[in-house]
Structure 1
Amino acid sequence: MRTRPAVRGLQYLALLGYLVFLVFPLAWLVSTAFKTPQEIAEIHPHWIPRNPTLRNFSDAFDLQPILHAAGNSLVVAVSASVITVLLATPAAYAVARHRSAVSKGALGWVLLSQIFPFILIVIPLFLVLKQFDLINSLPGLVLVYVVWNMPFALWMLRSYVRAVPPALEEAAAVDGAGRVRTLISVVFPLLAPGVVATTLFAFINSWNEFFFALVLLKTPEKLTLPLVLIRFIGADGVASLGPLAAASVLATVPSLLFFAFIQRRLSSGMLSGAVKG
């Protein structure tokens, strides 16, 4: 059934409005990063800087250890996303294929865990990590992010596993393939799009997370990028808007590059899954 031109026009209009809604904050952030302090302080600011400058970027590096904090965030985000996917993939397969009271209880707990506000678990989490001497350490933060990302990753990958026809596994068993060989050669390649999407979700969540890092990290050399960005706001509440905007632009670059890199893998994985299916 064809969509009427009027309906299609409304769809494109809604899509355009959504794109503007997404692009506006980023465009304003980039514009502010290249403005002089005088332009930033104007009552009626302009979109395009009249006198573009890179001074804000140099000030950002001078005021705060941006590169060191970005390195910490990269280590934490990559480690957390990889470990989350490695644990969630076989768990999602078990939950999707072996339906029992245990799997139903696990799914119920996954949904229930998303209801609790994070602030309710901060004190118990702090005490547990303190017992294992993981306070103020990047491995402890990675562990927290893995647990934090796991419920949604498990739920997301479960949907991809259920989309794989069980007949493919049965055909592989008829051909003499064992359970492990079937999972490695048949099931997991078809889960590539889901694995890529889940990895992207876990990476961005870990890269941008602020609250747990604020509670668990103390010394300056362990701070992640979100904790360093907040330091551009002084004790009196006045922010260095130019350097803050420049540092924020630099903070978005790794996420955009990671998304651009992984999007190609997502497209190729979807095509590969379609052919193999």
Structure 2
Amino acid sequence: MSKENKRTWTKAGLYFSFFLVVISFLFPLLWVLSLSLQTPFEVLQVPPNIIPTSFAIENYRDVLDSAPVLQYLWNSFRIVVSTVVLTLLIAIPAAFALSRYQMKFKNHLLIAILMTQMMSAVVITIPIYRLFASWGLLNQLGLVVIVYVAAVLPFSTWFLKNYIDTIPKDIDEAAIIDGCNKWQMLRRVLLPVSLPGIVSVVIIVAVQSWSQFVIPFILIDDSSLYPVSVGVVNLQSTQTQITTHLLAAGSIMSIIPVVILFVVLQRYIVGALTNGAVKG
């Protein structure tokens, strides 16, 4: 077999592998979308219909009528925005210090930060619940935000630190010569250059916070404070008939904001992965 044929078959194999990966990620989403547009009768059909025949748009109206989904979405929005803002306020200065300052035991500190990310939130949720319950602090969205921040802060700091490392230090020296102090250099020089990395962190933190289920499920028992991840699941327990189609419709409604966020900010993710920063 010639080299040209080998290259052709190699490319074909790679494209086929990419196709399988894309299908494996998209099929569950498309299946949920299909269920959200089916009637209860269609949901129970064997074999199941991949493409709905009725396109029951009224399922979405029924979800809005049977549960305060808009309130759930608003609760999730408040939690996500608060988590993202608080995470950036802590992670950006920490990443700047770890990247630009020489300090004793710096490598050990970075390893310790990374090790904390290996601990699942599920492991600490029960102790946190017992602590908050003893203090009478359950059903507080602010405390849920603090737990979220603690969960995503190690990765966010590590990611931003590595991104700032790619920015040439010549930029720092030029800013200092122009009369900038450390905070002015961070705010006026490094932050604009680091925008793709910061936006990538925003998307990662937002998606993780939006989809978090275990923490709010345990720390919140007031239905008016449920985020959408918990509220939508309760559609299954609040109905007396077959609710698979309604649960699917609620799930689709819950992921629409995340999809919009990703579509709007995806160019920054590409910039973070390909551009690095400023090239000297």
Whether these two folds match at TM > 0.5 is yes
Alpha carbon RMSD of aligned pairs, Å? 2.7
- 2:175 equivalent in structure 1: 172
- 1:229 equivalent in structure 2: 232
More displaced, 209-218 or 165-174? 165-174
Offset of residue 47 of structure 1 = 1.6
TM-score (structure 1 length as normaliser): 0.89
CA distance in 1, matches of 2:12, 2:261: 33
Find out whether 1:81 has 2:84 as its counterpart: yes
Output one character per residue of 1:231-271: Cα deviation in whole Å (capped at 9) or x when no partner: 12239998610100000010010000111122245567889
More displaced, 188-197 or 110-119? 110-119
CA shift in 2, pair 1:238/1:100, >3 Å: farther
- 2:155 equivalent in structure 1: 152
Mind listing any 5+ residue stretches in structure 1 that lack a counterpart? Answer: none
- 1:110 equivalent in structure 2: 113
More displaced, 198-207 or 99-108? 99-108
Write the mapping of 1:51-90 to structure 2, written as runs, cut at 5 A: 51-90=54-93
CA distance in 2, matches of 1:44, 1:228: 30
Task: From 182, 186, 192, give the equivalent of 2:185.
Answer: 182
8 Å contact from structure 2 (residues 167, 277) kept in 1: no
- 1:122 equivalent in structure 2: 125
AA in 2 matched with 1:78: V
CA distance in 2, matches of 1:131, 1:174: 54
- 2:209 equivalent in structure 1: 206
Output one character per residue of 1:45-70: Cα deviation in whole Å (capped at 9) or x when no partner: 12211111123212212222111111
Offset of residue 98 of structure 1 = 2.1
- 1:12 equivalent in structure 2: 15
Find out whether 1:260 has 2:243 as its counterpart: no
Output one character per residue of 1:183-207: Cα deviation in whole Å (capped at 9) or x when no partner: 2222111110110000000001110
CA distance in 2, matches of 1:36, 1:206: 32
CA distance in 2, matches of 1:119, 1:248: 22
TM-score (structure 2 length as normaliser): 0.88
CA distance in 2, matches of 1:104, 1:274: 23
Output one character per residue of 1:208-239: Cα deviation in whole Å (capped at 9) or x when no partner: 00111011111111111111122122399986
SS at match of 1:232: coil
8 Å contact from structure 1 (residues 190, 269) kept in 2: no
More displaced, 5-14 or 220-229? 5-14
CA distance in 2, matches of 1:210, 1:175: 49
CA shift in 2, pair 1:59/1:237, >3 Å: closer
8 Å contact from structure 2 (residues 163, 276) kept in 1: no
More displaced, 41-50 or 238-247? 238-247
AA in 2 matched with 1:258: L
8 Å contact from structure 1 (residues 190, 273) kept in 2: no
CA distance in 1, matches of 2:239, 2:187: 57
More displaced, 83-92 or 201-210? 83-92
- 2:246 equivalent in structure 1: 243
- 2:40 equivalent in structure 1: 37
AA in 2 matched with 1:137: Q
- 2:101 equivalent in structure 1: 98
